[in-house]
């Protein structure tokens, strides 16, 4: 099951500004036994990558914690079929992406078990699968 928005303001979107200009500076409040994955640079995440993040976390932490994915793909990327002549308008929507700014919280994890090692292991696996640099923020005690 892919993440696709139910309805959007426009059927097809413009490409928008270049991603290296996007910045997001947000203050983060860390609670006890919380792990957060924060992006350090801008990029794009498609709906398949977001599903992979969710599946990887669920596979490792199972029922030892609760995870929240803070992002959802909301921009449609259109693509014309192969070997089509020029003109005839814009292509159909091919897939959906989320434009990640630098400093955005991608996912948040609250662990109920005593150790936070499985959570850190899951986030390190996710870091390898993402197309941009991220950072793991953690707080063990108040």
pLDDT for res 2 = 74
**Residue 22 maps to a domain:** no
23 lies in a domain?
no
Q: Is residue 14 part of a domain?
A: no
Query: Does residue 10 fall inside a structural domain?
Result: no
Residue linked to tokens 């899951």: 122
For position 27, what pLDDT does the model report? 63
Residues of the chain above pLDDT 90, percent:
30
The predicted structure's pLDDT at residue 23: 62
Which positions ≥6 away from 101 have C-beta within 8 Å?
Answer: 22, 23, 24, 39, 42
Closest CA to 117 of 32, 35, 17: 35
Closest CA to 31 of 116, 117, 127, 121: 116
Mean pLDDT across 94-115? 87
pLDDT at residue number 131? 92
- Per-residue confidence (pLDDT) for residue 142, from 0 to 100: 46
Can you tell me the mean pLDDT for 84-93?
90
In a domain, 100, yes or no: yes
Nearest C-alpha neighbor of 44 from the set 98, 116, 85, 115: 98
Q: Which domain covers residue 105, as residue numbers?
A: 38-78+91-139
Residue 4 pLDDT level (bands cut at 50, 70, 90):
confident
Q: Burial letters for 111-139: b for 16+ Cβ neighbours within 10 Å, e otherwise?
A: beeeebebbbebbeebeeebebebeeeee
105-134 confidence digits (pLDDT tens) = 899 888 887 778 888 999 999 999 999 999
Question: What tokens were used for 57?
Answer: 């976390």
What is the domain count for the chain?
1
15 vs 141, residue with greater confidence: 15
Does residue 1 form part of some domain? no
- 27, part of any domain: no
In a domain, 6, yes or no: no
Closest of 68, 56, 63 to residue 106, by C-alpha? 68
**CATH of residue 48:** 3.90.1170.10
């Amino acid at each position: 099951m892919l993440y696709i928005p139910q309805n959007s303001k426009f059927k097809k979107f413009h490409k928008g500004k270049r991603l290296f200009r996007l910045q997001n500076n947000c203050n983060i409040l860390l609670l006890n036994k919380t792990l957060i994955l924060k992006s350090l640079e801008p990029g794009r995440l498609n709906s398949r990558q977001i599903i992979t993040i969710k599946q990887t976390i669920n596979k490792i932490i199972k029922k030892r914690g609760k995870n929240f994915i803070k992002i959802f793909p909301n921009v449609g990327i259109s693509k014309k079929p192969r070997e089509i002549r020029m003109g005839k308008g814009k292509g159909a929507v091919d897939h959906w992406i989320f434009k990640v700014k630098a400093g955005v919280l991608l996912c948040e994890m609250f662990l109920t078990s005593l150790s936070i090692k499985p959570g850190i292991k899951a986030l390190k696996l996710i870091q390898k699968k993402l197309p941009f640099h991220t950072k793991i923020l953690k707080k063990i005690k108040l």
